[in-house]
């Protein structure tokens, strides 16, 4: 297991930030999701060894969260969300410095810095001052510095922010390749759920300091609900009331497509029966693929 947490509690004074987080994350890419204030940052701080949990224990890459924090940080590559760099340095010196700080010998760090800068697509501009980089280039540079010491686990915080669509696609491909083919575990925090959906096989959703959902995205979609898309003729409100009373969530989009999220064990024939009772014609009925956005909204309890 790359990350294994058992019953982690943490409080900022009286405010309980984490209330018994237990989870196991293994190979591949994992998305860490949650609304603002859910406890994601606190959890990341604990996993990086900056905070010690009030209660509970855990291991990251086999190192204890409480006693081996330095070892954890040695094996982790962290790509922060903020635009951060050291002014006055060129990209290759900057990346090499980060490698050295992780424990690489100086010459090796320099050689490796060249390699990772080529890998993230900054090979041609590696001798340019980082101050002169565009936002997209800085994003790639942050990925390079996180990779320079060949970490076993990558923490990526909003890796595609500040990127144009092409740049975003390229970064996602890089991360996907790292996670799938390079034997590096990747933990991604992002608000762009489409990114998580594109790269991650599994997801951890945190809400109000607790794990709201954890597992493979495919499995969670199946477990939590099913989605049907309908086109109807008639008064939606009557149908909505009846379905919501049965535990469904009903939404209508701008194209007048009605989305019905049904709870597990719900028999979809009840939708037809409810429509018939309210004299509504069902003109189209499709069992739809639910998105991560749907899953997130459902689990966290927001629209």
Partner 1 sequence: MTEVREKGYHHWDGQLEDRRQVFWPITRTGIKLAFERRHFKLLFSMSFLPALAYGGAIYISERLEDFKFIAQGSEKSFQINPAFFKSYLTMEFIYFIILLLLSLGGAGLIADDFRHKAIQLYFARPIRKLDYLLGKAGVVMFFVGLLTIVPGIILVVLKLLFSGSFKFFLNYPWLILSIIFYSLFLMIFFTAFVLLASSLSKNRNYVIAIIFGLYYLSEIIRGILYTIFRSPYSALFSFRANLQQVGAGFFLTNKPYGLPWYLSFIVICLFCLFAYYVVNRKVRGVEVIK
Please report, as ranges, the residues that interact with partner 1 according to CB under 8 A.
41, 44-45, 48, 50-51, 70-71, 73-74, 76, 78, 80-89, 93, 97-98, 100-108, 111-112, 114-116, 118-119, 123, 145, 147, 149-150, 157, 177-178, 182-183
Distance between CA 69 and CA 59 in Å, rounded?
Answer: 10
Q: What is the closest distance, in whole angstroms, from the C-beta atom of residue 195 to partner 1 in the complex?
A: 19
DSSP SS3 for 20: strand
Structure tokens at 202: 């599994």
Q: What is the closest distance, in whole angstroms, from the C-beta atom of residue 218 to partner 1 in the complex?
A: 27
Using the minimum distance from each CB to partner 1, give the nearer residue, 70 or 134.
70
Nearest alpha carbon to residue 289 among 263, 261, 265: 261
DSSP 8-state code for residue 75: H
Q: What is the closest distance, in whole angstroms, from the C-beta atom of residue 141 to partner 1 in the complex?
A: 10
Using the minimum distance from each CB to partner 1, give the nearer residue, 187 or 282.
187
Using the minimum distance from each CB to partner 1, give the nearer residue, 118 or 127.
118
Q: What is the closest distance, in whole angstroms, from the C-beta atom of residue 147 to partner 1 in the complex?
A: 7
Distance between CA 248 and CA 219 in Å, rounded?
Answer: 20
Using the minimum distance from each CB to partner 1, give the nearer residue, 94 or 228.
94
Q: What is the closest distance, in whole angstroms, from the C-beta atom of residue 140 to partner 1 in the complex?
A: 13
Distance between CA 180 and CA 70 in Å, rounded?
Answer: 27
Q: What is the closest distance, in whole angstroms, from the C-beta atom of residue 292 to partner 1 in the complex?
A: 23
Using the minimum distance from each CB to partner 1, give the nearer residue, 115 or 197.
115
Using the minimum distance from each CB to partner 1, give the nearer residue, 103 or 247.
103
Q: What is the closest distance, in whole angstroms, from the C-beta atom of residue 254 to partner 1 in the complex?
A: 36
Q: What is the closest distance, in whole angstroms, from the C-beta atom of residue 114 to partner 1 in the complex?
A: 4
DSSP 112-124: HHHHHHHHTT-ST
How buried is 181 (Cβ within 10 angstroms: 0-12 exposed, 13-18 middle, 19+ buried)? exposed
Residue at token pair 């320099």: 110
Using the minimum distance from each CB to partner 1, give the nearer residue, 70 or 135.
70
How buried is 257 (Cβ within 10 angstroms: 0-12 exposed, 13-18 middle, 19+ buried)? middle
In this structure, are residues 11 and 55 in contact, taking their beta carbons and an 8 Å threshold? no
Using the minimum distance from each CB to partner 1, give the nearer residue, 172 or 250.
172
* β-bridge partners, 31: 188, 203
């Amino acid at each position: 297991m790359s990350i294994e947490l058992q019953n982690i509690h943490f409080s900022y004074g009286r405010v309980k930030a984490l209330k018994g987080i237990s989870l196991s994350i293994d190979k591949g890419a994992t998305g860490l999701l949650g609304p603002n204030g859910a406890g994601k940052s606190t959890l990341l701080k604990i996993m990086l060894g900056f905070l010690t949990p009030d209660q509970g224990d855990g291991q990251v890459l086999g190192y204890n969260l409480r006693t081996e924090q330095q070892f954890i940080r040695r094996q982790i590559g962290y790509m922060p969300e903020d635009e951060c760099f050291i002014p006055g340095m060129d990209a290759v010196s900057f990346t090499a410095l980060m490698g050295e700080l992780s424990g690489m010998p100086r010459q090796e760090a320099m050689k490796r810095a060249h390699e990772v800068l080529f890998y993230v697509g900054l090979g041609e501009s590696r001798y340019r001052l980082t101050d002169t980089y565009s936002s997209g280039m800085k994003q790639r540079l942050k990925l390079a510095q996180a990779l320079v010491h060949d970490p076993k686990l990558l923490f990526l915080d909003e890796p595609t922010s500040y990127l144009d669509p092409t740049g975003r696609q390229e970064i996602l491909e890089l991360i996907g390749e790292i996670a799938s083919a390079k034997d590096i575990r990747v933990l991604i925090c992002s608000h762009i759920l489409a990114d998580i959906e594109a790269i991650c096989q599994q997801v951890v959703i945190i809400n109000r300091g607790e794990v709201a959902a954890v597992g493979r995205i495919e499995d969670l979609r199946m477990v939590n609900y099913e989605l049907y898309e309908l086109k109807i003729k008639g008064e939606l409100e009557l149908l909505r009331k009846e379905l919501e009373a049965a535990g469904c969530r009903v939404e209508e989009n701008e194209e007048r497509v009605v989305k019905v999220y049904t709870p597990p064990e719900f028999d979809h024939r009840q939708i037809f029966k409810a429509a018939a009772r309210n004299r509504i014609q069902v003109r189209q009925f499709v069992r739809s693929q639910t998105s991560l956005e749907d899953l997130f909204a459902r689990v966290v309890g927001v629209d």
